[in-house]
């Protein structure tokens, strides 16, 4: 099995006799675990330097071992495993001598993490690969990893775990590539093409792309209002995967796809405006999740909706004070054209009603206020359903891709009253409760079980979040 990313091709095998020049063995400090003792063979352990989650080799040579310390047994947890895998990946990246590794799967660790051996194996491979990832595609001389082979040493065959890890890696690499890609390359049309391409996965994948004319017919006026300042064509992407019986209600995911957010006529300040290429991370996440779910052939029906366009100032741009009739019929007064995410999402949320969904989750780099509240530690979670909120919170903890629930109080809804229209697109000019009022704006367009993830603080640098949390949620859904 092979994984391609950037200019790299890494082969994955599951063969206890494979020749690799470095072995990676989990340990607690210098204490070896049972599998490790069996597999050290003639390999040599380098000088052990740091007990805290550190690959302990000073000079790596053929036939050496990276002792991947997990810290102390009594405080071992999943974030600890992730931290260790990150250090191992950094060691591999920084050491050009490492061309092949064998990773020894320590079955006993699965139990301590409350995971099956297969889950533990998949996670170890997936997070190792994810930490090897880097985005170098646009440099004239992209660097190349010397690592060509990852061999898994396990007591039982872990072929499925390896396959699953590769599907997960391909999914999140797609997200991270699109996130890092600049807005002159990652255009709405590019997102649409990428989505359309996923039809190759199989017959149970259907992708339709609506253009401005189609969206106009459907009265997606708020979405089109944001798009009209830009020269690029807006796209409304619909992706449908059927992995379960037709009568099983679908799960709908909606991703904010602003490929560049200049603020529009309410122009943003220049400092760090380049980061606004990341304003399509919600869309990227949804497309990457769709790809992964279809590849894993999960037994569920999934619909992904992506409204995507640029938010630009121009002579034909939306102006502050303009009133737009949303697809739902509610009218919105645009106080600030920089609060555009909710405008493209409200039509998508309304459109989702036609699927009679089991539940709907939208993912959006929606507000700077959410970064103020939670930083990058957690995505803001808003939901009208306690069970859904609890399940997402649990998946966040399972994967260390945390979310934190925030309120949808009536007070915040009251702040959204319009002067001449039904609604204003901002809660206040002072920005108070900016993340919550944005969420309440979205809530107005839902009539189903719904959760909103404000990922401005967690996704903006191309981390792939909240892919990890949502995949855990979708794979554990009953
Ligand atoms: N895309 C931004 C949110 C954002 C800001 C994400 C900073 C990441 C970093 C969004 O469209 C926006 O501009 N929101 C405004 C809303 C305000 C005008 C009510 C914001 O957060 O300032
Ligand atoms: Zn904005
Ligand atoms: Zn935005």
Three-state SS at 8: strand
Q: Rounded CA gap, 323 and 319, in Å?
A: 9
What is the pLDDT, as a whole number, of residue 43?
65
Alpha carbon of 261 to ligand 1 centroid (Å):
9
Alpha carbon of 266 to ligand 2 centroid (Å):
9
Three-state SS at 161: helix
131 and 183, same domain (yes or no): no
Q: Where are the beta strands (DSSP E) in 336-464?
A: 359-364, 379-383, 403-405, 423-424, 450-454
Q: Which atom of ligand 1 is nearest to the CA of 425?
A: 19
Tens of pLDDT, residue by residue over 325-342, are: 999 999 999 999 999 999
149 and 200, same domain (yes or no): no
Could you give the number of structural domains in the chain? 2
138 and 212, same domain (yes or no): no
37 and 72, same domain (yes or no): yes
Residue numbers of the domain that contains 308? 175-476
299 and 389, same domain (yes or no): yes
127, containing H or E segment: helix 117-132
Q: Which atom of ligand 1 is nearest to the CA of 340?
A: 11
Indicate which residue of 256, 291, 342, 465 is catalytic.
342
Q: Environment class of residue 127 by beta-carbon count within 10 Å: exposed (0-12), middle (13-18) or buried (19+)?
A: buried
129 and 226, same domain (yes or no): no
Q: Which of 226, 339, 367 to mutate to test the pocket of ligand 1 (most atoms within 8 A of CB)?
A: 367
181: domain CATH number? 3.40.630.10
Tell me the sheet residues that pair with 254: 305, 362
Q: Which atom of ligand 1 is nearest to the CA of 426?
A: 19
Tens of pLDDT, residue by residue over 201-231, are: 999 999 999 999 999 999 999 999 999 999 9
Q: Report residue 362 as tokens.
A: 């939208």
Tens of pLDDT, residue by residue over 279-337, are: 999 999 999 999 999 999 999 999 999 999 999 999 999 999 999 999 999 999 999 99
Q: What is the mean pLDDT of residues 246-261?
A: 98
Judge contact between 239 and 287, C-beta under 8 A. Answer: yes
Long-range Cβ contacts of 223-226 (<8 Å, 24+ apart): 223/307, 223/309, 223/327, 223/343, 223/344, 223/347, 223/348, 225/318, 225/322, 225/324, 225/334, 225/343, 226/258, 226/264, 226/309, 226/311, 226/318, 226/337, 226/340, 226/343, 226/344
Kindly list the protein residues whose Cβ atom lies closer than 6 A to any atom of ligand 1. Answer: 261, 279, 336, 338-341, 365-369, 371, 426, 434, 456, 460
Alpha carbon of 134 to ligand 3 centroid (Å):
25
Q: What pTM did the predictor assign?
A: 0.96
Specify whether 342 is catalytic. yes
201 and 128, same domain (yes or no): no
Q: Rounded CA gap, 78 and 370, in Å?
A: 26
Of 103, 124, 154, the residue that ends a domain is 154
Specify whether 268 is catalytic. yes
262 and 119, same domain (yes or no): no
User: Any idea which residue has 């040579």 for tokens?
Assistant: 61
150 and 197, same domain (yes or no): no
Alpha carbon of 311 to ligand 2 centroid (Å):
8
Judge contact between 264 and 337, C-beta under 8 A. Answer: yes
């Amino acid at each position: 099995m092979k994984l391609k990313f950037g200019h790299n091709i890494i082969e994955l095998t599951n063969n206890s006799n494979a020749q690799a020049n470095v072995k990676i063995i989990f340990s607690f400090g210098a204490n070896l675990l049972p599998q490790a003792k069996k597999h050290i063979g003639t390999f040599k352990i380098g000088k052990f330097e740091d007990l805290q989650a550190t690959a302990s080799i000073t000079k790596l040579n053929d036939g050496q071992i990276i002792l991947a310390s997990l810290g102390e047994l009594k405080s071992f947890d999943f974030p600890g495993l992730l931290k260790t895998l990150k250090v191992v990946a950094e060691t591999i990246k920084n050491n050009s001598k490492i061309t092949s590794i064998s990773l020894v799967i320590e079955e006993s660790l699965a139990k301590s993490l409350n995971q099956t051996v297969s889950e533990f194996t998949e996670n170890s491979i997936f997070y190792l690969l994810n930490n090897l990832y880097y985005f170098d595609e646009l440099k004239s001389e992209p660097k190349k990893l010397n690592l060509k082979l990852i061999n898994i040493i396990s007591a039982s065959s872990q072929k499925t775990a390896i396959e699953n890890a590769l599907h997960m890696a391909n999914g999140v690499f797609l997200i991270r590539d699109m996130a890092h890609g600049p807005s002159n390359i990652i255009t709405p049309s590019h997102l649409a093409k990428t989505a359309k391409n996923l039809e190759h996965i199989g017959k149970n994948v259907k992708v339709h792309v609506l253009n401005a004319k189609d969206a106009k017919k459907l009265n997606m006026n708020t979405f089109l209002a944001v798009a009209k300042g830009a020269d690029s064509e807006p796209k409304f992407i619909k992706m449908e995967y059927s992995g379960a019986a037709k009568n099983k209600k679908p799960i709908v995911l909606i991703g904010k796809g602003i490929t560049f957010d200049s603020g529009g006529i309410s122009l943003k300040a220049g400092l760090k405006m380049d980061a606004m290429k990341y304003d399509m991370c919600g869309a990227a996440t949804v497309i990457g999740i769709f790809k992964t779910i279809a590849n894993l052939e999960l037994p569920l029906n999934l619909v992904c909706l992506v409204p995507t366009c640029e938010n630009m100032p121009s002579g034909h741009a939306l102006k502050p004070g303009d009133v737009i009739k949303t697809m739902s019929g509610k009218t919105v007064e645009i106080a600030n054209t920089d609060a555009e995410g909710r405008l493209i999402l409200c039509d998508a949320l309304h459109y989702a009603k036609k699927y009679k969904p089991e539940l709907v989750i939208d993912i959006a780099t929606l507000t700077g206020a959410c970064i103020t509240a939670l930083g990058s530690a957690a995505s803001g979670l808003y939901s009208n359903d306690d069970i859904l909120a609890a399940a997402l919170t649990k998946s966040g903890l399972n994967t260390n891709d945390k979310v934190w629930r925030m309120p949808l109080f009536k007070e915040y809804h009251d702040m959204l009253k319009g002067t001449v229209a039904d609604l204003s697109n901002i809660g206040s000019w002072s920005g108070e409760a900016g993340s919550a009022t944005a969420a309440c704006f979205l809530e107005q367009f839902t009539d189903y079980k719904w959760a909103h993830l404000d990922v401005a603080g967690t996704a903006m640098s191309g981390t792939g979040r909240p892919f990890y949390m949502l995949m855990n949620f979708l794979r554990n859904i009953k």
